[in-house]
Structure 1
């Protein structure tokens, strides 16, 4: 992470569910055509966006986005579907037009993309999150 203390905040808003993308169906054991909900959360420090999460869940898991409260994982725990393990894939990407608009960055800016799948009981996938991080705020160290 970037050095120095920053005031962090987050904001979320539900996005109407599109049809489930085929490439994600195998990860969540849903079938194409199942209804989903997609949440976009922007993280800010000192008023600047430094991170965006786009989380996809089956609509059956999250029929009312206002029920989440402050924490998605706490909500999943409350409904009996706690995230017990995650897998993550990290890669560098170039900002798309959509990411440029949402993050307020320059076209072509490099970003860290993290794709996380959260698993619950029986090793069932329960959430899929795509996170986009501005590079000047994050540093990976071994």
Structure 2
């Protein structure tokens, strides 16, 4: 029941994030505020999904590893975001109802997979907001000097 309950909520947040990412241009990827560029935030979001799949759902990284895309290639970053989401969904689907509510020790401390998905949704939402802010107020690498 938990997977079927969480899935529509996760998909609503994650599909909105992906739609935002797909609307970006190559020029947008290098926009930054401080140390964070849009390209970096997209890559980081995918990395977090892979980490959460491993830490909280027991789904190891793919044997071929995680693709290391160029932070200036929208196509590569979109492919990575799709792959990380697919990996996480596969991990979520494999859990039993009991496992969703069983606390797991991770580098971030203890959390149930259900709590971890809530944290990951929050994480994705924060980065979506940062991307929007950077699009409005960010500078390109060349402007920052």
Q: What is the TM-score when the length of structure 2 is the normalising length?
A: 0.24
Q: Which has the higher helix share?
A: 2
Q: What is the TM-score when the length of structure 1 is the normalising length?
A: 0.25
Query: RCO (CA 8 Å, sep 6+): is it higher in 1 or 2?
Result: 2
